[in-house]
Amino acid sequence: MFTFSRSFTGTKEFLNPMSKNYRYLLAGGAALLIAAFAIFYSTRVGQSEVTRTQLQSWIKQDAIIKAEVTPTVYPGIYQVSGERKEGAKTTAFSLSTHLEEAEIKALYENKSVEILIPGQGMKADMIKVVPIILTGALLVFLLYYQLNMGKGKSHMIRERPTTRFSDVAGVDEAKAEVAEVVDFLKNPAKYKTFGGKLPKGILLIGPPGTGKTLLAKAIAGEAQANFFSAHGSDFNEVFVGVGAKRIRELFKQARKNAPAIIFIDEVDCLGKKRRADSNSELQQTNNALLAAMDGFENSEGIVVVAATNRPEDLDDALMRPGRFDRKVQVLLPDMKGRAEILAVQAKNKPISNKEKSLAVLAQSTSELSGADLAAILNEAAIMSAQKNHTEIHMAELEEARDKVRWGKERKSMVLRKAEREMVAYHEAGHTIVNLNKTLLPPLYKVSIIPRGQALGTTTMLPTEDHNIYMKTFILEQLSVLMGGRAAERVFYGATTNGAHGDLNSAKDLAKNMIHHWGMGDKLYYQVDHSDAEEEINRLLEQADKEAYDLVLKEKENTHKLAQALLKHETLTREEVLALLHENKHPQPRITVDCVLN
């Protein structure tokens, strides 16, 4: 499958310690340093350091028989090295000092002294040449850096994706919409007869994990087109103009390898609204993308596919027809879609009673994405392997689902006896209120084993997906959320901080009812309207009172359930109903107040 993540890494490739260019640069720099070291220090080997006073004394005594005077990089400072007479032998000396013109002249006039005149000789020439060489090398490096900025080996085409539409499940409507583009790439003549033009761009909109990238690969695979993949952040750089150049390079490579699919993930990092973003580099890169999508003809066989979960952040100019002609919603799968995704992901997994197990799993994973479902099956496979099973059983699937949704069980967490009892009564309160409701999904299981940030969980299992929620349905949800707090008040006469998450969820739900769904006595257009806040508080207080009355009425059953939880830690719906001698779940009523999801 062809894709290049972290595209356009020319500069990074050049500076990569593993790259050939970087090694050449390092070797050249090391050679220059070694040469400079050899030139400036070769004459000092075997020499002794002397003082300026000693040098002046030797000059007056004509004791110096050989001397080299070489200027340093500092004005008036010279490196003096040579030999002097010391009885019957000669001794080498060296020092760096300030020399007056008279002192240099005295050395020069001494006929017995071999002297290198300042500014002459190989060492003096090197002092002049080395800065020029270093400056030239720096200019060459900067020129190479500029020319290769935005380029990289990742532009090379390796192979076309092998992903097909059969590998993408749970998004039938999205597949149907993009299938037209695939057919156009395969049979352009059929559409040109009617004057049809290939869409330039397809914008995939949906939550994370719903399969947008997989769908883009499937488009390229079905159309037998080359696939270029990049992330929106790949075009963001500190230097102005780099991102724009990378955009141009991407489209240039796509034209050379048409038919091609250019996929830009998280395009909102690249195509933000220009008014809202004052970053000149991002604006220039955005302008380059706009110009590039206008700069190729529909007949070139290039389609830009972009993905985002924040379409409201995209620039209006990028969203107009002629650039992104198609906006395709890739939403969370429904129950049928989840079953299809699980079937695709479970092809090579040995699952016990596969059809029934996957059907139950699809039913109990509402609001989970395709990526979540794949993670559940993978976690179940790992658990089964650790237990040395030959097949994946429903127990592992349920444990994996709970782990992905709420986090791993914290079996090592030790609660004090009193705290554990409080958790049991809290979860029993949620359960008792749920069993007394008629519209909510039925109870699935209740547990006091800590998981994630929760010390206990009460799980309901929807029998079908809901898109429209009645007001009475939401009011029952509020009551169930208050059930744990109500049980604390009934059995302990006070509340604990264990209801923190329940209260936050209840407050958010009540706010949505009043501010966004129009379920209050009036319609409010101001978020902080005092009457609206009063209605929100009234909803919460009514739910709290209703839950308290129910738990108080069912105090004996609540106590019985809490004690069973302390003994068994986890109870299924069947075990709870057997304990409470219940045998049916009431049928739902129909009311007219509702809200669109």
Per-residue model confidence (pLDDT) at position 146: 58
Share above pLDDT 70 across residues of the chain, in percent, rounded to a whole number? 78
Query: Reduced to 3 states, what is the DSSP secondary structure of residue 298?
Result: helix
Q: Which fold has domain 11-152?
A: 3.30.720
> In this predicted model, what pLDDT tens digit does every residue of 492-551 receive, in sequence order?
998 888 888 899 999 999 999 998 898 988 888 776 678 888 999 999 999 999 999 999
Residue 59, C-beta contacts closer than 8 angstroms, at least 6 positions apart? 103, 106, 107, 110
Per-residue model confidence (pLDDT) at position 151: 54
Q: How many residues does the chain have?
A: 597
> In this predicted model, what pLDDT tens digit does every residue of 163-212 receive, in sequence order?
888 889 988 888 888 888 888 888 888 888 888 788 888 999 999 999 99
Per-residue model confidence (pLDDT) at position 5: 35
Contact 118, 124 (CB under 8 A): yes
Residues with a known catalytic role: 427
Q: Whose CA is closest to 168, among 354, 358, 370, 3?
A: 370
Q: Which residue has the higher pLDDT, 224 or 10?
A: 224
Measured CA to CA, the distance from residue 197 to residue 152 in angstroms comes to 32
Q: CA neighbours within 13 Å on the CB side: how many for 488?
A: 20
CATH class of segment(s) 165-329: alpha beta
Confidence at 596, pLDDT banded by 50, 70, 90 = very low
Measured CA to CA, the distance from residue 225 to residue 268 in angstroms comes to 25
Measured CA to CA, the distance from residue 544 to residue 538 in angstroms comes to 10
Q: Which residues pair with 97 in a beta bridge?
A: 78
> In this predicted model, what pLDDT tens digit does every residue of 128-159 receive, in sequence order?
666 777 777 777 776 666 555 555 444 444 56
Tell me which of 235-244, 334-343, 477-486 is least confident: 235-244
Per-residue model confidence (pLDDT) at position 594: 37
**Identity of the residue numbered 447:** S
Largest CA distance in the chain: 125
Measured CA to CA, the distance from residue 316 to residue 309 in angstroms comes to 16
Contact 352, 360 (CB under 8 A): no
According to DSSP, the β-strands at 457-460 and 114-116 are: unpaired
Contact 396, 351 (CB under 8 A): no
Query: Reduced to 3 states, what is the DSSP secondary structure of residue 49?
Result: strand
CATH class of segment(s) 417-596: mainly alpha
% helix, strand, coil for the chain, step of 5? 55, 15, 30
Tell me which of 163-177, 268-282, 351-365, 515-529 is least confident: 268-282
According to DSSP, the β-strands at 326-329 and 226-231 are: unpaired
- Give CA angle at 59 (54, 64), nearest 5°: 95
- Give CA angle at 58 (54, 59), nearest 5°: 120
- The stretch 291-320 carries a mean pLDDT of 82
* Domains 165-329 and 335-406 equal at CATH topology level: no
Contact 185, 334 (CB under 8 A): no
Q: Which residues pair with 460 in a beta bridge?
A: 443
Domain ranges of the chain: 11-152, 165-329, 335-406, 417-596
Measured CA to CA, the distance from residue 519 to residue 509 in angstroms comes to 11
Cα distances (angstroms) measured from residue 505 to each of 110, 275, 479, 512:
99, 35, 12, 11
Residue 190, C-beta contacts closer than 8 angstroms, at least 6 positions apart? 183
Confidence at 32, pLDDT banded by 50, 70, 90 = low
Residue 489, C-beta contacts closer than 8 angstroms, at least 6 positions apart? 495, 548
Q: Does domain 335-406 have CATH number 1.10.8.60?
A: yes
Measured CA to CA, the distance from residue 150 to residue 8 in angstroms comes to 5
pTM of the model: 0.68
Measured CA to CA, the distance from residue 225 to residue 136 in angstroms comes to 45
**Identity of the residue numbered 319:** M
Cis upstream peptide for 17 (omega within 30°): no
Q: Is 293 exposed, middle or buried (0-12, 13-18, 19+ CB in 10 A)?
A: buried
Q: In whole numbers, what is the pLDDT of the chain averaged over residues? A: 80
Burial 436-459, CB ≥16 within 10 A → b, else e: bbebbbebbbbbbbbbeebbbbbb
Q: Which two tokens stand for residue 527?
A: 């978020």
> In this predicted model, what pLDDT tens digit does every residue of 391-442 receive, in sequence order?
999 999 988 998 898 888 777 777 888 999 999 999 999 999 999 998 888 8
Read off φ and ψ for residue 199, nearest 5 degrees. Answer: -60, 135
Residue whose entry in the numeric block shows the structure tokens 């000149």? 280
Q: Which two tokens stand for residue 349?
A: 């997994």
DSSP H or E run through 275: none
